[in-house]
Amino acid sequence: AIFFLADKDLHDKLKNKKEAMKHEYPDIVQKFVLYMGAGMTIRNSFQKIALDYERESKENGIFRPAYEELLYACRELQSGVSEGVVYEHFGRRIGLQEYVRLGTLLQQNVKKGNAAIIDRLRDEAEKALEERMQSSRRLGEEAATKLLFPMVMMLLVVMLLIMVPAFS
């Protein structure tokens, strides 16, 4: 039983990490849109996002899994791996559809060049924000469902407090 419970704990940690990465995705894409709209290249935007996170994590001690992957990819860039390969590895390492799509978008832009990359990133940012809102609604509904049982128990206690003096 301990073996299976330890494995369950590992799966829960992995699930929480994936959820955190999904939650961070709109922020990352918005930063790409902001920096690229300001005239930075993809590579510079990538490095700026990663280095800002690194500085912030050292100051505040926070840990964000998606930004850690960005930092890892940034280090790959600095070690001489080509940009297209780094972006592809970034998407595949995370394994979530959103990040694979972002990595492919960045990789295609490096290979072929695309003047409309900012527009495509804006569309991606809007879609990501919409998905985050739907996810938040879903989590709110799940929380309401989880709170239903304690609310019923409290109702029974209140009814008991009212009924006992009434009958005595």
Residue 160: band (very low, low, confident or very high) from pLDDT cuts 50, 70, 90: very high
pTM here?
0.76
DSSP string, 58-107: HHH----HHHHHHHHHHHHHHTT--HHHHHHHHHHHH--HHHHHHHHHHH
Spatial separation of the C-alpha atoms in residues 22 and 30, rounded to whole Å:
14
> Tens of pLDDT along 110-123?
887 777 788 888 88
What is the average pLDDT value for the chain, to the nearest integer? Answer: 88
Spatial separation of the C-alpha atoms in residues 95 and 101, rounded to whole Å:
10
Q: Give the pLDDT score at 8.
A: 82
Q: Which residue has the tokens 């709110």?
A: 140
* Residues with Cβ within 8 Å of residue 73, at least 6 apart in sequence: 46, 50, 86, 87, 89, 90, 93
Greater confidence (137 vs 115) lies with 137
Percent of the chain predicted with pLDDT > 70: 99
Listed residue (67, 74, 34, 33) closest to 53, CA to CA? 67
> Tens of pLDDT along 34-82?
998 888 888 899 899 999 999 999 999 889 999 999 999 999 989 988 8
